[in-house]
Chains A and B, each alone.
Chain A
Amino acid sequence: SQTIHQWPATLVQPVGSPLSLECTVEGTSNPNLYWYRQAAGRGLQLLFYSVGIGQISSEVPQNLSASRPQDRQFILSSKKLLLSDSGFYLCAWSTTVGQPQHFGDGTRLSIL
């Protein structure tokens, strides 16, 4: 069966520090991968999605970036975090277009 791993579960970072969140999927090949952010009390906002290695589509302008160095690995990064980057970051995968997405446990990021 397929599983998705996301870490760390919680993270507290100072403003201006870098960020790297990692997500890996097991049990499937060539998944579609997604990064979402959910601000407190708000809905899910799609940040990036990838349909293959090295292929990244960005949904909103921001100081975050994403990379997919391997088929089942998706990384969310920032060189300099802003206070507004606080939130609940979720990685998700799906087999293909139109299929439901399955989420990792999420990373709760607090910026101080």
Chain B
Amino acid sequence: RKEVEQDPGPFNVPEGATVAFNCTYSNSASQSFFWYRQDCRKEPKLLMSVYSSGNEDGRFTAQLNRASQYISLLIRDSKLSDSATYLCVVNIAGGTSYGKLTFGQGTILTVHP
């Protein structure tokens, strides 16, 4: 089983739609969780951290379910500029994985007019 697993998509949605991505992780000792976005041929950029209580940043909402070991990202009112690859990222603190981030393969989102 992969350490971080995402549905690769692609997700094709019209402008204004709501879209949700899920991500599962295998290591229950995971401590920190993030969503990054990566535009074509560009570096990944931090979109938001994911907190246990869930958090929202404008049109974006992130949720964490530790019991089921999954993270979700909800995008409301999709914009054309939201088209990108969304990376689920997990940090495991301690042991040989100390301080390292593990990246999912990414979910491709295309928002069309």
**B1: Cβ under 8 A from any A Cβ:** no
**B49: Cβ under 8 A from any A Cβ:** yes
B34 touching A43, Cβ below 8 Å: no
Q: Which residue of chain B lies nearest to A45 when distances are taken between CB atoms in the complex?
A: B103
B101 touching A43, Cβ below 8 Å: no
A63-112: which have CB < 8 Å to B? 88, 90, 94, 96-106, 108
- Out of B31, B99, B106, name the residue touching A49 (CB < 8 Å): B99
Main secondary structure of the interface of B (DSSP, over half): strand
Q: Which residue of chain A lies nearest to B48 when distances are taken between CB atoms in the complex?
A: A100
Q: What is the size category of the interface that chain B forms with chain A? A: 20 to 34
**A51: Cβ under 8 A from any B Cβ:** yes
- Out of B44, B98, B105, name the residue touching A42 (CB < 8 Å): B105
A104 touching B43, Cβ below 8 Å: yes
Smallest CB separation, B27 vs chain A (Å): 14
29 residue pairs bridging A and B, Cβ less than 8 Å apart: A32-B99, A42-B105, A43-B103, A43-B104, A43-B105, A44-B87, A44-B103, A46-B100, A46-B101, A49-B99, A51-B99, A90-B43, A90-B44, A96-B99, A98-B31, A98-B91, A98-B93, A100-B32, A100-B34, A100-B49, A100-B101, A101-B46, A101-B101, A102-B46, A103-B43, A104-B43, A105-B43, A106-B42, A108-B41
